[in-house]
Structure 1
Amino acid sequence: MAKNNDELFKNVISHAKEYGFVFQSSEIYDGLSAVYDYGQLGAELKNNIKTYWWKAMVQMNENIVGIDSAIFMHPKIWKASGHVDGFNDPMIDNKDSKKRYRADQLLEDKISRYEKDGKTDKAEKLQHDMDEALKAEDLPRLKALIEEHEIVCPVSGTRNWTDVRQFNLMFSTQMGAMADGSDEVYLRPETAQGIFVNFLNVQKSGRMKIPFGIAQIGKAFRNEVIARQFIMRMREFEQMEMQFFVRPGTEMEWYKHWKETRLKWHLAVGTNPDKYRFHDHTKLAHYANAAVDIEFEFPFGFKEVEGIHSRTDFDLSQHQEFSGKKMQFFDPEINQNYVPYVIETSIGLDRFFLLTLINSFEEQDLSTADKQDSRSVLHLHPALAPYKAAVLPLTKKDGLPEKAREIMNRLKLDFNMAYDEKDSIGKRYRRQDAIGTPFCITVDHQSLEDNTVTIRHRDSMEQERVAVDELENIIAKLVSWKNILN
């Protein structure tokens, strides 16, 4: 990892805590590994990302509706989905450090190091060998590759490895009054199954016709042994998923459509297109006939942010078999009953949150010949910013706070606003820059005379004088969802 990338990632993590975006969960009790809390600004940014996804997915598509299914579901659902028997990661232990690692992640890290060192031939060869071993579920081969490429434990520095074994990632618990007499249930490891088991309910109650989609945002839980890279891989996380039901035989055109549509969604908020790439799966799940990841170049390398999968009719067919209920749609256009095929789009909300912070974070040197100066700024798209504007009285006297409060009360009905009268105006500007507030509205003595204020723009730091009566329209135009939804 390049030093500047390493420093960037550390600075983003530090910034996230300092300004109330993300905290370590249970921090006063020394924390809970791979579990994080979203602070006051993190919750706002997260909700805005959810709103952006929901509007783009549900509001803008007449044939897509949203649901909110329960986290607890009948245990047979996870048997039908394959999670009870097949939701495993290949794990390997280092005998000296007693630390456990995912075998594929150790190999992926080695591939990244080969790429950074310009050893592309070695990287491609190892990628191919790893993909083949994963596809064949050849655990001894994975261990052999770790040994062949002299991969050491990051903690002990030794190559004293155990055999590779499979480890199921689902959390289980008991439902009922007494643990010994209750049924075992699972915390859902994904949100998709809640959509599949409600397919008929939604289709019939909503009078939906193929093709149509069901969207959902919700928590999922995976007992990740190797949880790392801040909020990139957590045990409790949030997904934004949409399952799109199509007529068999049309799935590849819809797969192509959603692949293109979802990348546009990512780029519309100003993320750098050069940091994105598609990565086609070489190892397809047994039920899929196409799968691709949208990957973003994080400071620690390209990682998946969203997956688009053509899942065929596997999910509905499995639930039809295990439940004994028909999961079919009668298509009047072709006068035929069939189990629909599914195109899935699944994005990790926490990963996109981290992506958004990294993409928008900048430390700017504003020094001049006369003085040293700098600022940390989040160049968040105005529609995503936690606060849309901040109202700042120039001083805490002469009626300026009263005038500022009057403006604040007028604007907060439509926009999430910040109010700050502590410290110098320059320090207050810097704080709003650091949390991504697009505009600062400064109330000064002239405001009392002619009812005008100064708007300062975060990115350019330019200032303009405007009438108070124009503020609502100015802010509304700049933070509108219309700027990114199309």
Structure 2
Amino acid sequence: GSIAYLRPETAQGIFTNFANVQVAARKKPPFGIAQMGKSFRNEITPGNFIFRTREFEQMEMEFFVKPGEDEKWQEYWMEQRWNWYTGLGMREENMRWYEHPQEKLSHYSKRTADIEYRFQFGGNEWGELEGVANRTDYDLTAHSKASGQDLVFYDQDAQERWTPYVIEPAAGVGRAMLAFLLDAYVEDEAPNAKGKMEKRTVLRLDHRLAPVKVAVLPLSRNADLSPKAKGLAAALRQHWNIEFDDAGAIGRRYRR
């Protein structure tokens, strides 16, 4: 049979389609192509929960820019990606930037900076959440040489031909999901009906991430109120994932 290979990242499919997208969408740099999908790694010893797996869901964008403008665009996307996480409720005290030393950069990278999150998992306090890399023109040049396809951009305004540089934000969906859950998880203590202190758990997710958007919790099951509450729940369910609960004390239902 034929030999098949599983992609180690979603990026390369974007690079090979750069010229098609640029012409079909009538775009000129700066512009980006984003993709989300499965990636695969030949991990010798998979484990450590979601941090070392052979298959994972990846989000990547290749943002094509004019050479010489790459550094300012990397700073732009570093700010945008940081703000995306904090805008969805992630606390900045649990985040930091890690700048890759020059001697440890990937072969294609001019500069790489990672957003790290305080996962406190697997014996490490910090773990990579997302990387933002300046891949220069390495990928388009390599694909062009190997395939013979011209991936150079002709700038009509400047009457110049150049190979775009690429800024790449790349994130794992699983890691982002775990970070949002960890950041939203809160425990506190409050007296129960018998006056005894008990632990309570709350998941303080941003409403855009919360799976349940609305809870309808009628104060009682009386004949007048209950049908109206159920009707409201049915109407809301046409638009969102909602919960209806009329059993137990209102405070306990709200906590649930």
* TM-score after normalising by structure 2: 0.90
**TM-aligned CA deviation for residue 424 of structure 1:** 4.5
| Residue equivalent to 2:232 | 407
The answer as to 2:205 corresponding to 1:380 is yes
Query: Is the Cα contact below 8 Å between 1:272 and 1:359 reproduced in 2?
Result: yes
| Residue equivalent to 1:391 | 216
| Residue equivalent to 1:320 | 144
The answer as to 2:181 corresponding to 1:362 is no
Summarize the Cα distance change of 1:336–1:415 in structure 2 as closer, same or farther, 3 Å threshold.
same
Q: Give the fraction of aligned pairs with identical amino acids, expressed as a percent.
A: 45
For 1:230 and 1:421, how far apart are their aligned partners in 2? 38
Helix, strand or coil at the partner of 2:217: strand
| Residue equivalent to 1:330 | 154
Equivalent residue for 1:217, pick from 23, 29, 36: 36
* TM-score after normalising by structure 1: 0.49
For 1:335 and 1:413, how far apart are their aligned partners in 2? 55
Higher relative contact order (CA 8 A, sep 6+): 2
Summarize the Cα distance change of 1:226–1:430 in structure 2 as closer, same or farther, 3 Å threshold.
farther
Which sections of structure 1, spanning at least 5 residues, go unmatched?
1-181, 432-486
Q: CA RMSD in A?
A: 2.0
The answer as to 2:51 corresponding to 1:232 is yes
Equivalent residue for 2:114, pick from 284, 293, 299: 293
Query: Is the Cα contact below 8 Å between 1:210 and 1:331 reproduced in 2?
Result: no
Helix, strand or coil at the partner of 1:307: strand
Helix, strand or coil at the partner of 1:267: helix
Summarize the Cα distance change of 1:421–1:240 in structure 2 as closer, same or farther, 3 Å threshold.
same
Say which structure is richer in strand. 2
| Residue equivalent to 2:20 | 201
The answer as to 2:105 corresponding to 1:284 is yes
**Corresponding residue pairs, total:** 250
Which sections of structure 2, spanning at least 5 residues, go unmatched?
none
Query: Is the Cα contact below 8 Å between 1:232 and 1:354 reproduced in 2?
Result: no
Amino acid of the structure 1 residue aligned with 2:236? L
| Residue equivalent to 1:267 | 86
**TM-aligned CA deviation for residue 326 of structure 1:** 0.8
